[in-house]
Amino acid sequence: MPEHLIVLHRWADRYANYGSYVDHGAHRVSYVTTRRAAGSLPEAPAAVRTVHSTEDGKEVRAAVSSLIEERGRPARVVALHEVDLDMAAELREELGVPGERLAGLAPFRDKLVMARRLAAAGVPVPATGPAPDHEAVRAFAAAHGWPVLVKPLRGTASAGVARLDSEADLAAYSFPPDLAMLVQPYLPHEVLHVDGVYHGTGLGAWRASRYLNTCLGFTAGAPLGSVELDDPRLLKAVGAFTAEVLRAVSDGPRVFHLELFRSGPDSAPELQVLEVGARPGGAEVPFVWREVHGIDLMEAAFALQIGAPLPAAARAAGEPPSVERGGWLLVPTPAARPCRVTAADPQVGTDGGPYAERVPLVGQTLDDLPGYEHAGARFRFRGASTAEVQAAVERTATAFEYRCTSIDESARGLVVLVGSGGRPYREYAFAAAAARADVALVTTAEPSWQQPYLAGCHRMPQDTPDATAAAAARACAAHPGRVGLLTWDEVLLEATAEAASRLGLPHMSLLAARNCRDKLSTRRLLAAAGVAGVKFAHVHGQQEALRAAESIGYPVVVKPRSLAGSAGVVVMHGPDELRALYHYAAEAVFPGIEPLDGLVLEEFLDGPEVSVDSVVRDREVQPVNVARKRLGFEPFFEEIGHLVSRWRHEPWADELTHLVVEAHRALGVTMGVTHAEVRLTAAGPRLVELNGRLGGDFIPHLGSLATGIDLTAAAVDLALGREPDLRQQRDVCAEVRFLYPDRDCVVRSLDTAAAAAVPGVAEVVRLAQPGARLLLPPRGVVPRLAALLVTGETPEECQVVLDRAAALVAVELEPAGHDGGTA
């Protein structure tokens, strides 16, 4: 079996390109990550577990245990972010996995151990002492003078660092609870950082840079820049000092980030260690190295953690051969978070500006997330000299206009709805959303019937992620309160998920959306997780399908990987039917969706079909409604009706719930309102598919009629970061029946008034207008005349009402010609 690697991952941006570091086809590579960071994972991971935070030991251990149960014991545990190094070391010790242990990390993660180790080796380092209380700091200041710095023993990015200038400052200072602290003198010297590779006996590739401002100043609201140095005298001294530091603290090869105090002239600088880390530098360091110098420090760190040789370019001694110098700039957010961006003008393309940037979108919501990645705006620079790069950094810091406004939590929320859907099927959802929050529509078309429900509309030229994010940002920009992003359109789910990630808004992750949209990914992930297996194959062409069907056994279902509305889904009972009907699946289309490569062929699941609508919040899955599906027009799985009724007393209820919960876990769905389709087979419930959106065909509306739980309102609440109200208010049955013509036709007239007057009819929705051309399956897509929605105490009562109402619908039809068109 291939090796199993478990990676702890927390970056939303592409700091690490794991897909190029290890072959994900030859190795089982699993990830423990956060919802926000899941979108930056490579394609085809073996498995993914999401946690609130990779610093939560209990949650991470539970995720790792689950991965081991599913994928086997790991050969290695990898973590590239400084904050995750301790957790990875603990896991290695607990699992008996090779790699760095806590003892080896101590001189890099525990700043008191670090200072003592360096001092013992004769390496200059500021005086350092433990700071358990005010008295300890007072005694230290008496010996070394004011001002002093009080900082976490195992901190990062200057988080929690406080400068105390006097006894009065100390008296006003409150020690953070349950956090070990130390104290050092405050030194006003210039701060350098050195990044590179130590191969065990000496330096590999390395570069020295000078901070413009300080990390501590950045936490107080000042920009932080860095520029690589080119003075040969200073670099010679820094290189020798860096090698001395690494020999004192490291017992083997590693990627490092060293920060130094520097005073004195370039020709004879005086250097002291501020701190040293056993990982690639933060901020923009990994990007600058990769883009300017052609060396991936993350790749080097990954190689060391899996026991592979260092890449040759990283191991080569001295500065990388690039003649350019790099630099970067971080601009902190100028308002208390959470806040919304009101101005952030891009700088790439300006004269003497950066070559790359991460600038928040106007309208983006910025939550209080840790680390430089989420600190504000980020810029990267390159040039022929230190002076050229520094001038560009300083020019950008002056020119960049960046404004934010704090969010008014008391203001009414705004939900930005991406896409609309047709009026007959989604007007009820617009009404429910508008009752819960202001609604801004993002669409490619001018709104018409939607106008009464809207607080605004923003056009996008096309429904790409870029256009969706830009239009949604415009919709959010002027709103004072909380905003959320939502779609119930299958076609727009992935674009909406990506836009939400860019805008910092709650949403199902892009990876989870893709797992749901691609039926092949769904099957593979469910199989890997051992969730109620279904035999399947990925086929290309009829002959491959015939061979797969012979192996699986007839009957089989053939379906496109990515379409919607059961388009192209066909059941085939033998080779002759497969030959005759295969082209319906192969040639199927759905407006707005590009078909993916190949088709999915799977065993036919015999038994009644139901759909399950669930609300997912913080990975907790709560099934709400079960709709019993009415199917017709075999072998084409046309959905001709749905019944929402009591289900928790059914003998399959517990097993169905378990299946739905585990399917969400396997596909990485941690939030949203979802719609699962399940067959109740003799062997137990089996998942057909999981949709990452509100159900269609009026099913959420039926649920509201039957139970009083409004799933549209729940989706709005989730988008706004609120707890949805899932309290049941009633317990009746609700059913929809779709009326179809008995032949291909053109509708001349349709009268539903008498049907709407039948007691028990909640609503009659006209689905075809005079002149509509309706072709029955498989020639047409959902060729429906009308929808009858009824309520009753029992399913039998609903059936009686439906029969009475259907008989009163008056329709005039005329034959339709067969010219290859569709309804």
Of the three residues 380, 405, 430, the one that is the final residue of a domain is 405
Q: How confident is the model over 567-578, as a mean pLDDT?
A: 90
CB 692 within 8 A of CB 512: yes
Q: What pLDDT is recorded for position 565?
A: 67
Instruction: Retrieve residue 215's tokens.
Output: 């990390």
* Nearest CA-CA partner of 772 in 782, 785, 787, 781: 785
For residue 133, give its domain range.
127-185
Tell me the three state secondary structure of residue 272.
strand
Q: Residues 398, 295: one domain?
A: yes
Q: Residues 257, 365: one domain?
A: yes
CB 528 within 8 A of CB 46: yes
Per the structure, the count of domains in the chain is 7
Query: How many alpha carbons fall within 13 Å on the CB side of residue 316?
Result: 10
Given the structure tokens 């013509």, which residue do they identify? 741
d(CA 817, CA 423): 28
Of the three residues 185, 203, 228, the one that is the final residue of a domain is 185
Q: Residues 269, 360: one domain?
A: yes
Q: What pLDDT is recorded for position 613?
A: 97
Q: Residues 617, 593: one domain?
A: no
Q: Residues 466, 612: one domain?
A: no
* Nearest CA-CA partner of 646 in 562, 755, 733: 733
d(CA 181, CA 266): 34
Q: Residues 34, 60: one domain?
A: yes
- Model confidence at 476, pLDDT cuts 50, 70, 90, reads very high
Given the structure tokens 């939550």, which residue do they identify? 367
d(CA 230, CA 238): 12
- Model confidence at 818, pLDDT cuts 50, 70, 90, reads low
For the segment 138-196, what is each residue's pLDDT rounded down to a tens digit? 999 999 999 999 999 988 777 889 999 999 999 999 999 989 999 999 999 999 999 99
d(CA 709, CA 720): 18
Tell me the three state secondary structure of residue 170.
helix
% of the chain at pLDDT higher than 70: 99
Give CA separation, 772 vs 397, 596, 749, in Å. 60, 31, 10
d(CA 532, CA 665): 13
For the segment 331-345, what is each residue's pLDDT rounded down to a tens digit? 999 888 889 999 999
Q: How confident is the model over 265-278, as a mean pLDDT?
A: 92
Q: What pLDDT is recorded for position 45?
A: 87
User: Which one has a higher pLDDT value, 234 or 782?
Assistant: 234
d(CA 250, CA 257): 12
Q: What pLDDT is recorded for position 566?
A: 73
Given the structure tokens 């017709």, which residue do they identify? 632
Q: What pLDDT is recorded for position 415?
A: 97
Q: What's the order of all strands across the beta sheet hosting 365-366?
A: 365-366, 339-344, 402-406
User: Residue 45 domain-assigned?
Assistant: yes
CB 151 within 8 A of CB 182: yes
Helix or strand (DSSP H, E) at 210 = strand 203-212
Give CA separation, 301 vs 78, 296, 373, 395, in Å. 9, 9, 19, 34
Q: What pLDDT is recorded for position 160?
A: 85
For the segment 699-740, what is each residue's pLDDT rounded down to a tens digit? 999 999 999 999 999 999 999 999 999 999 999 999 999 999
CATH number at residue 807: 3.90.1170.50
Q: Residues 307, 373: one domain?
A: yes
Q: What pLDDT is recorded for position 546?
A: 96
Task: DSSP for 323-372, please give it.
Answer: S-EEEEEEEE-SSPSSEEEEEE---TTSTT--SEEE-PPTT-EE----SG
Q: How confident is the model over 22-44, as a mean pLDDT?
A: 89
- The residues that bridge with 459 in the sheet, in sequence order, are 443
CB 203 within 8 A of CB 236: no
Tell me the three state secondary structure of residue 749.
strand
User: Residue 520 domain-assigned?
Assistant: no
User: Residue 202 domain-assigned?
Assistant: yes
* Nearest CA-CA partner of 9 in 57, 79, 63: 79
Q: What pLDDT is recorded for position 2?
A: 65
User: Residue 654 domain-assigned?
Assistant: yes
* Nearest CA-CA partner of 159 in 56, 282, 316: 282
User: Residue 822 domain-assigned?
Assistant: no
User: Residue 225 domain-assigned?
Assistant: yes
Q: Residues 174, 196: one domain?
A: no
For the segment 430-455, what is each residue's pLDDT rounded down to a tens digit? 999 999 999 999 999 999 999 999 99
Q: Residues 145, 208: one domain?
A: no
For the segment 496-533, what is each residue's pLDDT rounded down to a tens digit? 999 998 888 999 988 899 999 999 999 999 998 889 88
Task: DSSP for 46-109, please give it.
Answer: SEEEEES-TT-HHHHHHHHHHHHHHH---SEEEE-SGGGHHHHHHHHHHHT-SS--HHHHHHHH
Of the three residues 603, 621, 656, the one that is the final residue of a domain is 603
d(CA 356, CA 322): 18
Q: Residues 178, 209: one domain?
A: no
- List the Cα angle 482/426/498 in 5-degree steps: 45
Q: Which residue type is seen at 251?
A: D
822 pLDDT more than 50: no
- Model confidence at 823, pLDDT cuts 50, 70, 90, reads very low
Q: What pLDDT is recorded for position 636?
A: 78
Please give the mean pLDDT across all residues of the chain. Answer: 93
CATH number at residue 547: 3.30.1490.20
Give CA separation, 514 vs 149, 189, 249, 465, in Å. 48, 51, 45, 13
782 pLDDT more than 90: no
Instruction: Retrieve residue 198's tokens.
Output: 């130590």
DSSP alpha helices (H): ranges in 163-231? Answer: 167-172, 215-219
* Nearest CA-CA partner of 50 in 62, 368, 372: 62
Q: Residues 633, 721: one domain?
A: yes
User: Residue 739 domain-assigned?
Assistant: yes
Q: What pLDDT is recorded for position 336?
A: 87
Q: What pLDDT is recorded for position 821?
A: 38
Q: What pLDDT is recorded for position 820?
A: 40
Q: Residues 692, 674: one domain?
A: yes
CATH number at residue 687: 3.30.470.20
Residues comprising the chain, all counted: 823
CATH number at residue 38: 3.40.50.20
User: Residue 178 domain-assigned?
Assistant: yes
